[in-house]
A and B are shown apart, each in its own frame.
Chain A
Amino acid sequence: MSGGIVISSPFAGRLNRTDRLMLQVILALIPGTLAMVWYFGWGVLINMALASAFALGCEALVMRLRGRPILPAIGDLSALVTALLFAITVPPTLPWWLTFLGIAFAIFIVKQLYGGLGYNPFNPAMAGYVFLLVSYPVEMTNWLAPAIPEVLAAHDLATLSFVDSLRLILTGTLPPGLTWDAVSAATPLDEMFSQLDHNSTIPEILQSPLWGDFGGRGWEWVGNWFLLGGLWMIWRGVISWRIPVAVLAGILLPAGLFWLFDPQAFPFPAFHIFAGGTILGAFFIATDPVTACTTPKGQLIYGAAIGFITFVIRHWGGYPDAVAFAVLLMNIAAPMIDHYTQPRVFGHGRREET
């Protein structure tokens, strides 16, 4: 008998481990990430590598400053998940120092200042993203065009090689002979809502070769692959179905109602699912256990509210996408929702007399 003896029941082996849960989240990100690399080039991977290195460095530094063991904090992989989610949501051409700034904000201020893993009220990746979005809106909306021949041809666009991407991220210089206009394109959400602002009708907008079956070309496939990863996580029991389903329902329901009411001014509901960060948000971001609701009923409310707020901001707000804002808004409401949605405890009446 050696150290590490359990002194009180249960003595049975533990069934889960935090690092394994985090690892499964990372694995579930793979298909969607590959699709993003496919459509948006090497910048995605370069950003991921940079963000991961920064995040682990920041985490280690904070733990050192706090006088806590560094390895368990790094080893729980939570900083890595934050870094990867952050890298996926920012444009693939983001200058390295912005990535650093966003990650540093996420790890130092949003996560560790509140006490580290488990204590942060806000999703660090989304807080870092929003911090950059409101501070550096231009850099944060410079999206590349998806590498699809029709799209590239229609707008006379070029793609970036690995070296070009690396140089762009590290030095901020485009390859000789290329301008921003030659590589970037509006995201489908941007395109849709700026056109709507110009009083174009949906059928007119959809004339562009940017559009695929539901959302933007390329974008919708990225969404599909993330969806695959998300479903795998539900199957593995890493996340519950409640939050993703509620987010999607929360966005589809109002979208469907408004579309029925005026199909000229409101896009087909599925557009909302396959545009922007809806899938990623529903399966990977809103489900962050630390910042989400934990009661079953609370999770449904929390998810539906995220979906609804996303829809509202997309249509009537100033930002093209809104998943990050919706998530942050609901993060801070989660404890209250949890409080009011406690499940009925075994042996207690339907209505608590307390």
Chain B
Amino acid sequence: MASPPHASQSRPGPRPLWTFHGGLHLPDEKALSSGVPLATAPLSPLLVIPLQQHIGAPAKPLVGVGDRVGKGQLIGEAQGAMSATVHAPSSGTVVAIEERPVPHASGLSAPCILIETDGRDAWAELPPPLGPRPDPEALRERIRWAGIVGLGGAAFPSSVKLRVPAGQRIHTLILNGAECEPYITCDDRLMRDRPGRILAGVRLLRDLLQAEACLIAVEDNKPEAIAALRQALATGEDLYGIELVVIPTLYPSGGEKQLIRILTGKEVPSRGIPAQIGILCQNIATAAAIAEAAEEGKPLISRIITLTGRAMGQPRNLEVALGTPIKDLLALAGGLGSGLRQLLIGGPMMGFACDDLGMPVTKGVNCLLALSAAEAPDPGPALACIRCGACAEACPASLLPQQLYWHARARDLDQARAYHLFDCIECGCCAVVCPSHIPLVQYYRFAKTECLAQEREKRQAEHARQRHEAKTARLERLEEERKANLRKKKEALAEKPAPARASASAPAAAARTMPLADASAPADSAPVLPAGGGAGSGAGEPGAPSGTVTALAGSPGNPGTPGTPGAPGTPTADTSAVDPKKAAIAAALQRAAEKKAALARQGQAPKNTADLTPAQRRQVEAAEARRRELQAAESASSGREQP
């Protein structure tokens, strides 16, 4: 695979290419914007930097309102395994950290750091360059630090992608320069204007992954980009294993799975990732950003954006500081024309509507597309599906979009899943070819959302069920243990009834010597302890002191002890014999009484009755009298119950 540079230039034998099912030849409209050389957008007075510009958890702000920041300064730290850092795109002052509308298909707002630029564009201190052959770990850390994410639009954190799981090896690195979506030319322009930077990134990635082959894939509708890369490959150094592959123009060949199929003939398993088959895909712009981070220590604070469409004043590509409000950019491209029908973020096939011009540019924004009425005519109301199957012919995932549509429409989510709903990549081919103008992708998104919501509910229900079952099991176990203890004690009682009865009728003071009533053992956990902590404690288990056994055996609340010898006559003794808790209480009462008596001997009255009003005292005395009456009645009735 280590072919010298000239080999990749002359392409000794045409590399075999595969095809995927379906796809569309769309009018590419790239000439609108691709002819204008790349320029840098002037700095906006206010930059709005969302803390989440990537897939994963939002970054944690490291600055506060009023802080001065330098260009490239880390202002948001990645949180968790899947996240990316955020840096200040220019120097200035943090004026607010607040919710702002951000470019996302959901149309929701998200926390952003607002920086008022000072116009000096002064760099903060940057990390040193890594050198031509950096240590893999250092490079990975640099990529993570630089907040680099996939710049093709998905904004997946590159450092996460490049952390190949143990046991997997990347043999082929694919650089995605297909840029298959109509109108968008930012990658085209980057390949034309900065091929060397791209190759530097490819080199770094090749060494990092130890990939045998690095394939740079470019659709054949970009001859200038192909020529520029070819030239750079011919003149550059240390480019072994790097090959330029020109692929036929067919939407969506730039889809990761489709591109892998075209170049290698392999299919990424459903719901799997390319690393599973030894392949890793990166956008060419991502490679360039990695080169910049490694060679110059610059974090990802700008990107190239295509401003195009027939309703855009002067279509072109601009390198833009992240956080620049969209309205500022539109002014740089001649503003929006009067024929504007819709302004999109992204391309016409997979983009989404931009409904707030104050939204900032983020790492994932590759295009601002101003469509005129002629480019996006009103599709009219959706008509009935005539089952023509054009959607299935066009589907690059070999799905049956029509059947998916029926099931999504009927909310038959199980069937929709059975028809592989989640293999849909939402490329839009089916909807574009549908003669009935049914918004098919919208139905699939709806069904996916419903499925996910259903799954979440199911998970929650399952969680609640497990908790409930665990609780039931625990209670049952406790009950079992209690019963086992009782049985054991009953048997012990049956073996030596005489001492047991004696112990049961012992005065309350005896309870203090019982292990269970011991001050060191918490009273409420006592019932479990004598069982040895296990349900298997049988009747013959040694170690349970007979005193405890006896005390427990007399429990009056237990229906399973009809043959238990009767409880002794006095209430105190009864309490102590009933259960260790009561025994403990009795012991405490006893102690209190003793203490009280001791205090009385010393001529002190108990504090809590020291300063009662005469009325209160009368009440206390009345209550005492009632209690005595009750005790007398109780002892009389329990005496009658004695056999």
Contact = CB atoms under 8 A, between A and B. Distances in A.
Interface in A144-171: none
A12 interface: yes
Contacts of A354: 418
B436 interface: yes
Contacts of B396: 346
B398 A9 contact: no
B263 to A, nearest CB: 15
A345 interface: yes
A318 interface: no
14 contacts: A8-B439, A9-B426, A9-B428, A10-B350, A12-B432, A14-B432, A17-B435, A18-B435, A76-B383, A119-B384, A294-B389, A295-B392, A346-B20, A348-B423
Interface stretch (B268-276, B322-330, B532-540): B268-276
B431 interface: yes
B343 to A, nearest CB: 9
Contact of A18 (B20, B386, B403): B386
Contacts of A16: 390, 433-435
A134 interface: no
A4 interface: yes
B388 A289 contact: yes
A9 B351 CA distance: 6
A21 B380 CA distance: 16
Interface residues of A, number: 42
B289 to A, nearest CB: 26
B371 interface: yes
A1 B386 CA distance: 30
Contact of B434 (A13, A14, A119, A343): A14
B388 A347 contact: no
Contacts of A345: 270, 397-399, 420, 423
Interface of B: 20-21, 24, 26, 182, 257, 261, 267-272, 340-342, 344, 346, 348-353, 371, 375-381, 383-390, 392-393, 396-400, 402-403, 418-420, 423, 426, 428, 431-437, 439, 441-442, 445
A204 to B, nearest CB: 46
A14 B267 CA distance: 29
A47 to B, nearest CB: 25
Given A345-B398, A346-B397, A13 B376 contact: yes
Interface in A46-89: 72, 76, 78
Interface string A96-137: 000000000000000000001111000000000000000000
Interface of A: 1, 3-18, 20-21, 72, 76, 78, 116-119, 240, 289-290, 292, 294-296, 338, 342-348, 354
B418 to A, nearest CB: 7
Contact of B348 (A12, A20, A240): A12
Contacts of B349: 9-12
Nearest to A344: B398
A7 B442 contact: yes
A240 B351 CA distance: 31
A294 B432 contact: no
Q: Max chain B CB contacts within 10 Å: which of A8, A18, A289?
A: A8
Contacts of B445: 8
B401 to A, nearest CB: 10
A1 B390 CA distance: 30
A347 B376 contact: no
B383 A18 contact: yes
A82 to B, nearest CB: 12
A289 B434 CA distance: 13
Contacts of A119: 384
Contacts of A347: 257, 267-272, 397, 423
Contact of B344 (A11, A117, A292): A11
Given A4-B379, A118-B384, A343-B400, A348 B439 contact: no
A4 B373 CA distance: 11
A78 B437 CA distance: 16
Contacts of A13: 375-377, 379, 432
A15 B432 contact: yes
Given A8-B352, A18-B436, A342-B419, 20 more contacts: A1-B340, A6-B376, A9-B351, A9-B441, A10-B349, A10-B428, A11-B349, A14-B434, A14-B435, A15-B24, A15-B432, A21-B435, A117-B386, A118-B384, A290-B387, A294-B400, A295-B392, A345-B399, A346-B423, A348-B270
A14 B349 CA distance: 11
Contacts of B340: 1
A346 B437 contact: no
A290 B385 CA distance: 8
Interface centre among A6, A76, A295 (most CB of B within 10 A): A6
A240 B432 contact: no
A119 B436 CA distance: 14
Contacts of B348: 9-12
Contact of A290 (B381, B386, B442): B386
Contacts of A116: 384
A113 B136 CA distance: 69
